[in-house]
Amino acid sequence: MSFTSLPPLLAEALSARGYAAPTPVQAAVLQPDAEGRDLIVSAQTGSGKTVAFGVAMAPQLLNEDGRADRAGAPLALVIAPTRELALQVSRELVWLYGKTGARIATCVGGMDASKERKLLNQGAHIVVGTPGRLRDHLERGALNLAQIKVAILDEADEMLDMGFREDLEQILDATPEARRTFMFSATMPKPIVALAKRYQRDALRISTVGEDRGHGDIAYQAVTVAPADIENAVVNLLRFHEAPTAMLFCATRDNVRHLHASLIERGFDAVALSGEHSQNERNQALQALRDRRARICVATDVASRGIDLPTLSLVIHVELPRDAETLQHRSGRTGRAGKKGTAVLVVPYPARRRVEGMLRGARINAEWMNVPGPADIRRNDHERLLTALMEVPVEIDDEDRALADRLLLERSPQDIAAALVRMHRSKMPGVEELIDNKGPAPRAERPSSDGPRDGFEDTVWFRMDVGRRLNADPRWLLPLICRRGHVTKTEIGAIRIMPEETMFEIPRAIAHRFADALHRTEGEDRSPEGGIRIIPADGPPPPQRSGPRPGPGSKPNRPVLVRPVAPGGGYERKGPPSGPRGPRPGPANPQQRGKFRQG
């Protein structure tokens, strides 16, 4: 199928933009059985939805000559959840309908409302806007919806999630009942179905999920880390991939601000997008990404909606998405228009089970792997450096050759090459050493002695209100203890993990200092596990039980004793078997237990 059935001016505009054939969703809305009908379309981000509804509404906007009549009250209304998406839709429709003479007015929050009212008074064929601003213009009498022939809800599921149901209902109630109504949504939850039932008549259901390439061009990876290592893991992932453009997702504007400042401090070219930024600041950030003055965007979910960056090839979920739909929306910023992309989930050890369930629900097969270490990053750096240096410039002028000759007179070719390598490396941000990126020590390296090591003959026990039931593990407990108590690994003795709590020992000589640090840092830890309480214990943990192993179906309740292998080394576990080695999966929904605040 081609675009030959469209009005000539639209076909010319599509050809000029490089559209040779319609995508599946564009072909579906142009089928004869879709003509003149309401549409409810389920399509993934990046599938060409804007052009799809742009061409589908052409019969209601253009006359027999394929041109727009004189502008008056708007004939088409497009509602989008965010400013960025509305502005993107407006830009797409401008080039699509540019030759037809159709006028497009954009009404979004953060822009000058008086200028928008002036444009509306001058007349427009298409109005694109966000729910809140459109409702404001409607209530003030600046927006006349009496002549609307087509109403389009773009990313309708997101608008309902954001609480715009009342705004949408008021806007749609102000339009004629005889209009066509298009609902475009990546997912079709019950609220969307209910909205469609109320405002659509005999709607044609179109689903191209799985047909268009969409997320098929995205490679998913998941890396497990200690919660305290999340930021360092992000740094190493950025250095490992060195993507032309990368997007990092956080859950809150505070976390966006913190991570953005941290990346700038480390030498990355990064911008931030969140609800606290003005429209002018957002425009400047996006332009910096398009101009390649910045390569990294740190954003919240809402702020990232509608962003389309051609060079975006890496998405990192710094804080985990709340559900499978959010995961797909985030990841869909990359892998667009047939290009390959990578989406990486940074998974704290306690949240692994929840993430595995989310991936199954989204039918995504992710590769589980370790965070890239210094050796991995150096290997990639070497390959990228060789490629960059071997790219010979198209033209070398006489001044360049004269400077090269002078360098060769004063230094050997090997010294000059080494200097170039050093200059290249000096521009790169440093690599981070993770607290624990290797998992438990192999069994062959574990000692058999149960006696205390030097310096731990006289200790004080402390307790934490987290145990095996919430996937307590030394790999993420140790960094937490060190951070909260201002101690090092070498100053922590045995760790005993029980079903509901964990106990560990600190040398009596530093126990008072350790307790004071706990008191000062309580409530200040920003990490996901920062809400765990650490307090002095009444005494040592109960002794391990001896006797026969529990039979089938019974639940062992013996504590797991984790003893240090050596100062600064790994830990061994003693107690009931805990399944296969490696990070144990966390609770399906840790937030319900109030212990972890994951993404």
Domain ranges within the chain, ordered by starting residue: 8-207, 214-375, 452-543+556-582
8 Å CB contact between 497 and 540: no
Domain at 214-375: CATH architecture: 3-Layer(aba) Sandwich (3.40)
Query: What's residue 116's pLDDT?
Result: 93
Domain 214-375 matches domain 452-543+556-582 at the CATH topology level: no
Query: What's residue 304's pLDDT?
Result: 65
Angle in degrees, CA 509, 513, 517, rounded to 5: 150
> What is the rounded CA–CA span in Å between residue 305 and residue 326?
11
Query: What's residue 450's pLDDT?
Result: 52
Q: Which residues pair with 274 in a beta bridge?
A: none
> What is the rounded CA–CA span in Å between residue 268 and residue 428?
8
Buried b (16+ CB within 10 A) or exposed e, 87-106: bbbbebbbebbebbebbbbb
Nearest CA-CA partner of 496 in 488, 485, 504? 504
Q: Sheet containing 104-107: which strands, arranged edge to edge?
A: 104-107, 126-129, 76-79, 150-154, 180-185, 39-42, 204-207
Q: Which residues pair with 180 in a beta bridge?
A: 150
Q: Which helix (H) or strand (E) holds 14?
A: helix 8-16
Q: Which fold has domain 8-207?
A: Rossmann fold (3.40.50)
> What is the rounded CA–CA span in Å between residue 251 and residue 274?
10
Per-residue pLDDT of the chain (599 residues; tens, 9 = 90+): 567 778 999 999 998 888 888 888 888 898 888 999 999 988 766 678 899 999 999 999 999 888 999 999 999 999 998 887 888 899 999 999 999 999 999 999 878 889 999 999 999 999 999 999 999 999 999 999 999 999 999 988 878 877 888 999 999 999 999 999 999 887 777 888 888 889 999 899 988 765 444 455 789 999 988 877 889 999 999 999 999 899 999 988 899 999 999 999 888 999 998 878 877 788 888 888 888 889 999 998 876 666 777 788 899 999 998 888 788 878 887 876 557 889 999 998 878 888 998 898 888 889 999 899 888 888 888 888 787 767 655 466 778 788 888 888 888 888 888 887 777 777 777 777 776 544 433 333 333 445 566 677 889 999 998 888 887 888 788 888 888 888 888 888 888 888 889 999 999 989 998 998 888 888 766 666 667 889 999 888 877 655 554 444 444 444 555 555 444 444 444 444 443 334 444 443 433 333 333 33
> What is the rounded CA–CA span in Å between residue 316 and residue 528?
17
Q: Which residues pair with 507 in a beta bridge?
A: 459
8 Å CB contact between 310 and 331: no
Q: Where are the alpha helices (DSSP H) in 151-252?
A: 156-161, 165-173, 190-199, 230-241
Q: Where are the alpha helices (DSSP H) in 242-308?
A: 253-266, 279-290, 301-304
Q: Which of the following CATH numbers is that of domain 452-543+556-582: 1.20.144, 3.30.300, 3.40.50, 3.30.70?
A: 3.30.70
What count of Cα atoms within 13 Å lies in the side-chain half-sphere of residue 147? 14
8 Å CB contact between 503 and 537: yes
Residue 55 burial by CB count (10 A; 0-12/13-18/19+): exposed, middle or buried?
A: buried
Query: What's residue 565's pLDDT?
Result: 47
Handedness of CA 25, 27, 32, 35 (dihedral sign): positive
